[in-house]
Each structure stands twice: as C-alpha cells, then as structure tokens.
Chain A
Amino acid sequence: MSKPEPLKSPDTAIMAAPHATLLEIKNLTTYFRSSHGLVRAVDGVSFDLNRGKTLGIVGESGSGKTVLARSIMGLLPKAGLERDGSILFEGDELINLGPKSMRPYWGAQMAMIFQDPMTSLNPVMKIGNQISESIREHLDVTKQYAKELAEQLLISVRIPEAAQRLDEYPHQLSGGMRQRVCIAVALACGPKLLFADEPTTALDVTVQAQILDLMAIAQRERFMAMILITHDLGVVAGRTDEIVVMYAGRIVERAKTETLFSHMKMPYTEALLQSIPRVDQASHVRLATIPGRPPDLVNPPAGCKFAARCNYAQDRCLQEEPPLREASPGHEYRCWFPVDTPEGADALARNRERGTTASGLIFNPPTPALANKQKS
C-alpha cells in the first residue's frame, strides 16, 4: 500500500483560532420519560476537553456513555426527552438549540463515527455522494470540487483505488473498509470534535488496530479533539489523554490516562480492569468478575450506585452517595473507601472477615496474584 500525502484541505479553510478549551460540559442531565418513570440516563456530568486532546469514556452497557455523546451532539429524539445543564462549544451554549440551529455544527464542527459500519452508511447511495453530501452542505464549492475532495479523503483514510470506490456502494466493501468510509464522511468538513462510539467493536483485532491508528493520524494532522467511547479499557489505554469512567449515568472516576491506570481510586474501575482477560496471564487463570448488573436507572438505589456489586461496600455506601472528590489535581473519583488507601484496605479487611459486603454480596475479591500483577 503506498503512503499517500496527508490531506491539505478542506479543514484549513475553517480552522478557527486555537481555543484552550473546546468543549465544556457542566452538570449535564439527560432524562427520558417512559411508562415506568423517568430514566436518568445521564445524571449530572461535567468535564472539559481541549483542542487536539483525546478523551476516553468507558463503562458497561447501560452506563449512559452513548446517550452522553448523543446528548452533547443534540442527536436524541425530542419526544420524552428532558435535558438540562450546560454544553459550551467554543464558548457557545448548545443546550437549548434545536435540530435547525444545530445543523451548522453537525459535520462542520462536530461529527460522529458509529459502532456498526454496516448500518451507518446509506446502502442505496454511492460512497462518493455520501462523503460529498456534507461538503456541499457546509462549504460553498462546486460539485466537481466536492468530488475531488471526496477522493482525497478516501486516499487519506488509506482506501486503495479511491477513484473507483467513489462510484461503488457500501455492500461492495468489507467491514473495515466501510468503517474507513465512515471516518472519511466524519472528517469531510474538518470537524473540531470527533465522537467515536465503539468504532471498532464490530471489527476484527487486526482491523481494529488499523482503524484506531488511522483515527490517531487523522486527529494529529487536523489538531482535532476526539471522544472515544468504549467498554474496553484495552482500547483506550494507549490512545487517550484522559479517561472518564461512567456508571449509572454518572462519572465515577476521571483522570489522566496514566494516573487512572497507575493510581485508580474507584473500585469499579479496578473491577473493570481486572475482568479483562490478558495475554500475559497463563491459560485458565480464573477471571475476576463484577457480579450482578448495573442498577435500574428509574429508581436508582440510595447511596453509592455501585455498592451492590462492590467488594469494598460498607454500611455508609448504602446510605450516603459519595460526592466526586479530588485525589490530585485533575483526578476525581466517587467513593468512600477508595482503592489503595487505608480506608479502602480497612473496608476490604472487614468484608473479608465477615465473608460478605454491607450489601450482602459474597466477598470474592480477585486472586492476590492477579491484584499484585496489576499494581506492578
């Protein structure tokens, strides 16, 4: 595969003055009215993102990570939706904007790549037209120029024989190639912020590595900010500057990537990391699991939302919800008995002694050998 030249335009044309903070989310809530009651999918989330940086959002299914991304982009259906808080994008408030006012932002300022490349492309539209569609919408260019840009974009996402591909349909491409096309569509107008919602979950490991690398290169070339949403801590470990761990619609830990892995405070983060099978372990090592399921978002339990599944849980966890506390500048967590602290060690020792946690869970911490391995 020949290495093509990096793409020159079209993003340079609309490159704004570099802002320190690109996106500022303050106390964002996103609720859905349902027949069962109010579903608190995102419940008071705050974070900032600077230009050119990558933020990872990690959590299980149902933790609210996808809803958070769609809520920021204003992509959620209006029926039954209750959204509050503040979304500042380059200083502009987006929370009250409807679809009409969001149009100039979609594609041009912020774009999204979805999990399933099979269904996120239009099956009856040629690939070239799918890419040039947003170019023609946002930039005042001729049809011919838009087509040339589309070809440049396909080359920049390393699709071989780009010129021929413009006239092909999505079903003629493999899954990995389709995801490359989705990236080209997202990059078409040079957005300042790219959301990638589980971009590689549907792909093979080899293709996953290719796609993640491609996104990293595109990001560097454009000085674009990126929000990478995934359930796999392995995917975000080497590829993000900062990580937000979500649970039951809230941020439970937020830190620089290195800090999160080396000094994690939240038992949930620890449990997530320990449940990943690792190739450097011998075969048949018993995996640590997180028992149970995430809580009901309609009637969330009092106290810490993770207490029912947590090895550290004490009586206090069941009554009082821990606030987001700072461990070091830029490192926040939500726990009364954090990992690797005297309080946490005491809590573990107490639960080990009585055999269950305060929530009645049978105490079953990961094997010491594994725990030591993680710390070393």
Chain B
Amino acid sequence: MAGTGSAHLRPEVDSLLRVEDLVVTFSAGKRQLIQAVSGISFDILDGETVGLVGESGCGKSTTGRAIVQLPRPVSGKVTLGDQELTALRGEELRKIRPKIQMIFQDPISSLNPRRKIRDIVSEGLDIWEIGDKASRNQRVDEILNAVGIDPANGDRRPHEFSGGQCQRISIARAMITEPKLIICDEPVSALDVSVQAQIINLLQDMKQRYGLTLIFIAHDLAVVKNVSDRVVVMYLGKICEVGKPDTIYRQPAHPYSAALIAAIPVPDPKVKVSTENILGGEVPSPVSPPSGCRFRTRCPRATELCAEEEPQMREIATDQYVACHFPLSPGEVINFGAGV
C-alpha cells in the first residue's frame, strides 16, 4: 500500500477541497517522530461525500484534523476552493473557519455541559457577529427545527438530551455558519443502530437541503458505503484504494480492502461465518513502519518486491485506483488464513 502518487486526483478546476502529499507527524518523545499521515492525496468535488475508512491508527482522524490545520501538517498542500489553507496564518486562517466545520464521535463530551444548547448552537453567529440578536435567534430556531430538536427546549443543557439528540445539536452547531465542508469524525460510532440510522438520514437530508460537502470518517464499512460517493481506504498513514463505494465493495482490488469487507458482520444467520478470510495480526507501529508497501507484513501475497518498492497509485478499472503491486482481479477471493 503505500499509496504515494496522485493518479486518482481529478482535474483541479472541479474540486472543492484538494489534499496533496499531506504529511502529519507527532513527537513520540526521545526524539522519535511518528508519521501519522505520510503523504496522502485526495480531492473532493462540490457536493460530494468522501468516506475515509481504515482501522484505528491508520491516520483517518488525523487527516480530518490536518485539513482544518489542527494540527498543522508538516508538509503538503490543502486547498479549499482557490485558497491554500496551508499557506494561511493567523487572522486569514480564522476567516476560513466558518466554511469548514467538524462533528465528533462522542456527542455528549463534545458539547459544553454548562451551557444551554441554544447558546452552544448560536456561538458561531455571535463570534462572527452575523445579524442582530433577533435574526440570530430566528436562525437558531430554524436550524434546531431542521435537525429535529424542538427550539422550545433550547434553554436546556446537554445532559437533558439523549446521545442521538446531542449529535443532532452538534450537527446544528456545525451548520449554523453555513459551511461548505463538514468533516464528520466517526459521527455515529457511539450510537445505537436505530439512532445511527436517524443521524445518517439527517446528514443526507442536510446535505441535499444546504448543498453540503462531507468528509465522513468511520471504521464501519457498511455505514461508509451507505453515505459515500467516493471511498478512500487508508492503512498506516497511506492510501490503499480509492473508488466508488459500489465498485470497491463488489470487487475490492487491494487485499486490505478485501480484508476489511470480509470482516463486516452480516445480519443473516444463513451467511456462514468464515474464519479463513479474516485478517490476522495488528497494525504495525507507525514509529518504524515496514519498508515498501506498509501492508506487506499482514498480506499473504507479499513478495520481495513489496518490501523493496513502494507501490504507486494506479487506475485498475474505470475510476478505481489502487496502490498495490499484486491487486486482486475482479471476483478473486483472497485467503488470509490467519483465523484468530
């Protein structure tokens, strides 16, 4: 995997957000550096939903945060419209903030427990001094209605709401400044299945109603497939595969994508649970990632070539890009044989 290269990027004029060769590092003490994201590129068209998937530690959340420059990437370019975010500083960067918003995993801890939800939602308007007090209030009512929270409950505090309702309030807070792009970092992982479906439907409605563009970060592949127009599979700070969700799920080309898809539990007892297709082992330490293809330590197809040379992104089928020396052909099943 590896995934350097930018064969999968589309013409620059079409994209709303463009991420090129993004590198994010963290200090791990003792002068060690962890490269959480190592040179990934992707682009998002206006009105598109891009899903980022991968196991814990693959750098998907870090990528989302680096787009809003928190933390700032070490190198690489992030461009929103015609503005290069990585080049902006101070006040100029602050002016961009209303256009990109985030929604986090844990709805309860991402809302300030001491504040009334009406104040939480209107904070963006207050900071940017948009409109007068009456029009702000009206705007808050509108947006609360739109996410399915009764504005009459606006004077309550977050603990009086359920997890699903808190996530609706988080969505209202993100929407209030009329952003172009919302980065959703595991927005439904902490919720029950029934509530999860409500929130996913709500995000889809909001997207249609307000013409939003979404980055949807999640480890649940079924959820990602449902919401995305384009899926980016990540592993250990690199991109493995990019393509349309229906294509990737029907015929994954990267062994890692195949492993992720095979691990999804199917709610049907007639589908035999197979221990053979299960990927064994764990993600290696990002302090000293494997040479060449980073997935080779867990990949049954790995050869010496994979250790020596990092595979580059290439188009394997129409609008399906993979970074693998030995991609799967359509219909091929890979046996990881690791079991437990």
Interaction A to B: yes
List the interface of chain A (C-beta within 8 A of B): 1, 3, 60-61, 158, 174-177, 204-210, 212-214, 217, 231-235, 237-239, 257-258, 261, 271-273, 275-279, 281-291, 293
B222 → A minimal CB distance (Å): 4
Complex Cα gap A237–B197 (Å): 19
What are 15 sample pairs from A and B whose C-beta atoms fall under 8 A apart? A60-B193, A174-B282, A177-B282, A205-B219, A205-B221, A206-B259, A206-B278, A237-B269, A238-B269, A238-B271, A275-B197, A278-B266, A282-B246, A284-B204, A287-B201
Q: Does B20 contact A (CB under 8 A)?
A: no
Complex Cα gap A112–B270 (Å): 28
Kindly report which residue of chain A lies nearest to residue B230, judged by CB atoms: A283
B278 and A210 contact, CB distance less than 8 A? yes
Kindly report which residue of chain B lies nearest to residue A293, judged by CB atoms: B162
Q: Does B339 contact A (CB under 8 A)?
A: yes
Closest 3 pairs (CB-CB, A-B): A234-B265, A238-B273, A287-B197
Interface digits, B62-85 against A, CB 8 Å rule (1 contact, 0 not)? 000000000000000000000000
Beyond A177-B282, A239-B273, A277-B196, list 16 extra A-B contacts (CB 8 Å): A1-B280, A205-B55, A206-B278, A209-B265, A232-B193, A235-B265, A238-B265, A275-B193, A275-B194, A276-B222, A279-B225, A279-B261, A279-B266, A281-B226, A283-B244, A289-B198
Complex Cα gap A207–B338 (Å): 12
A203 → B minimal CB distance (Å): 8
The residue that B226 contacts in the complex, of A239, A258, A284, with Cβ under 8 A, is A284
Q: Which A residues touch B265, using CB under 8 A?
A: 205, 208-209, 212, 232, 234-235, 237-238
The interface residues of chain B, by DSSP majority, are classed as loop
A217 and B340 contact, CB distance less than 8 A? yes
What count of chain B residues pass the 8 Å CB interface test?
53
Q: Does B176 contact A (CB under 8 A)?
A: no
The residue that B228 contacts in the complex, of A208, A272, A283, with Cβ under 8 A, is A283
Q: Which B residues touch A232, using CB under 8 A?
A: 193, 265, 267
B264-290 CB contacts (< 8 Å) to partner A? 264-273, 275, 278-282
Q: Which A residues touch B106, using CB under 8 A?
A: none
Q: Which B residues touch A208, using CB under 8 A?
A: 263, 265
B324 → A minimal CB distance (Å): 18
B331 → A minimal CB distance (Å): 16
A277 and B222 contact, CB distance less than 8 A? yes
List the interface of chain B (C-beta within 8 A of A): 55-56, 162-164, 192-198, 200-201, 204, 219-223, 225-229, 244-246, 249, 259-273, 275, 278-282, 338-340
Q: Which A residues touch B249, using CB under 8 A?
A: 279
A140 → B minimal CB distance (Å): 32
Complex Cα gap A284–B47 (Å): 14
A61 and B226 contact, CB distance less than 8 A? no
Q: Which B residues touch A213, using CB under 8 A?
A: 273, 275, 278, 339-340
B264 → A minimal CB distance (Å): 6
Complex Cα gap A19–B148 (Å): 53
A272 and B193 contact, CB distance less than 8 A? yes
Q: Which A residues touch B198, using CB under 8 A?
A: 289, 291
Q: Which A residues touch B201, using CB under 8 A?
A: 286-287, 289
Q: A1-B281, A217-B340 given as contacts; is B267 within 8 A of A289 (CB)?
A: no
A283 and B226 contact, CB distance less than 8 A? yes
A283 and B261 contact, CB distance less than 8 A? no
Complex Cα gap A238–B278 (Å): 15
